[in-house]
């Protein structure tokens, strides 16, 4: 599998300077004592797909009036990142990421009016909605801790496959042919990797024809009456159709279900299975 997570952090202490070089507050009014830390957290994009990077941006500001000593940023980005690369940011070598997905970054002492910006890029391996909260603190008393936390939400999609199985005609006579139509649709938002369609027909089915799209590989195993089709990938929004023609030589009602599987995480498997019924007289 490809690298699922990449962390790249950059730190820049940038004081808010006025025209005359005086320190200005990011937001007023300034508190009278302590070090009022403020955290702003953003994510871009807010909607993505599995294996694609999203970037969290953290802006920590010391609104003063005192220096914030031993400032630390902490965040919990969920345990869905396979690797962390901190080499681009030697200033933050003490970052730790454990199985909990928790990391902390010491920012040192922040002077009044200083700001620190961090950027973290991660890829989520599973679809879902991820809401996580970051926080900042220091050893200096903070007169307003309400602005020390911030949270964002990112929606990660997978490959939602849908299978539709029909048979035509639905009523026939013994020895006549019927055609099963299998329609596989990838509702997205990601490309579906390694798609498998399988169907074991009722006893008595005799294959007489098989048509499948370019790029697909389909076989029908006569002893087990099993159809198996696979393809390396199916793009989001794409549809593929397989036609299987068989005959039933004995009267009866023949009902069975087909199913589609995918290696990529599927957020909704309820529509991966469908059945069809044919009556033979």
pLDDT at 241 over 60: yes
Tokens 């793009």 -> residue: 235
pLDDT band at 82; cut points 50, 70, 90: very low
Number of Cα atoms under 13 Å in the Cβ half of residue 105: 25
**Distance between CA 130 and CA 256 in Å, rounded?**
38
pLDDT at 164 over 90: yes
Q: Pairing mode, if any, of strands 252-262 and 273-280? A: antiparallel
Q: Sort 217 into a burial class: Cβ within 10 Å, 0-12 / 13-18 / 19+.
A: exposed
**5 DSSP 8-state letter:** B
pLDDT band at 5; cut points 50, 70, 90: very low
Task: Look over the chain and give the mean of its residue pLDDT values, rounded to a whole number.
Answer: 83
Structure tokens at 96: 């730790």
Q: Which of 101-105, 156-160, 171-175 has the highest mean pLDDT?
A: 171-175
Per-residue CA distances from 158 to 47, 168, 179, 192 (Å): 11, 33, 32, 8
Output the pLDDT for position 122. 79
pLDDT band at 100; cut points 50, 70, 90: low
pLDDT at 181 over 90: yes
C-alpha triplet 52, 57, 62: angle, nearest 5°: 170
pLDDT at 2 over 60: no
Catalogue all structural domains in the chain, each as residue range(s) with its CATH number.
35-157 (2.60.40.1510), 159-280 (2.60.40.1530)
Longest dimension (CA), the chain: 96
Lowest mean pLDDT segment, chosen from 52-56, 176-180, 253-257: 52-56
Output the pLDDT for position 23. 33
Query: CB–CB of 84/7 below 8 Å?
Result: yes
């Amino acid at each position: 599998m490809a690298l699922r997570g990449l962390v790249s952090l950059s730190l820049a202490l940038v004081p808010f300077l006025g025209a005359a070089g005086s320190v200005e507050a990011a937001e007023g009014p300034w508190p009278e004592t302590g070090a009022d830390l403020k955290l702003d957290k953003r994510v871009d994009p807010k909607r993505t797909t599995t294996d694609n990077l999203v970037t969290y941006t953290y802006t920590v500001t010391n609104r003063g009036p005192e220096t914030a000593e031993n400032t630390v940023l902490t965040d919990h980005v969920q345990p869905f990142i396979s690797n962390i690369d901190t080499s681009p940011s030697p200033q933050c070598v003490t970052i730790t990421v454990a199985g909990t997905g928790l990391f902390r970054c010491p920012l040192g002492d922040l002077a009044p009016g200083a700001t620190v910006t961090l950027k973290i890029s991660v890829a989520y391996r599973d679809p879902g909605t991820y809401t996580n909260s970051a926080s900042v603190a220091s050893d200096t008393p903070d007169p307003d801790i309400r602005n020390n936390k911030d949270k964002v939400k990112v929606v990660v999609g997978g490959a939602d496959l849908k299978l539709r199985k029909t048979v035509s005609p639905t009523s026939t006579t013994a020895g006549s042919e019927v055609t099963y139509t299998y329609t596989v649709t990838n509702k997205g938002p990601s490309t579906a990797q390694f798609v498998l369609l399988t169907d074991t027909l009722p006893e008595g089915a005799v294959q007489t024809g098989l048509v499948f799209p370019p790029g697909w590989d389909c076989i029908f195993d006569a002893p087990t009456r099993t159809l198996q089709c696979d393809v390396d990938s199916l793009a989001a929004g794409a549809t593929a159709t397989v036609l299987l023609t068989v005959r039933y030589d004995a009267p009866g009602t023949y009902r069975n279900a087909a199913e589609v599987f995918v290696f990529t995480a599927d957020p909704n498997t309820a529509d991966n299975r469908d059945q069809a019924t044919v009556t033979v007289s």
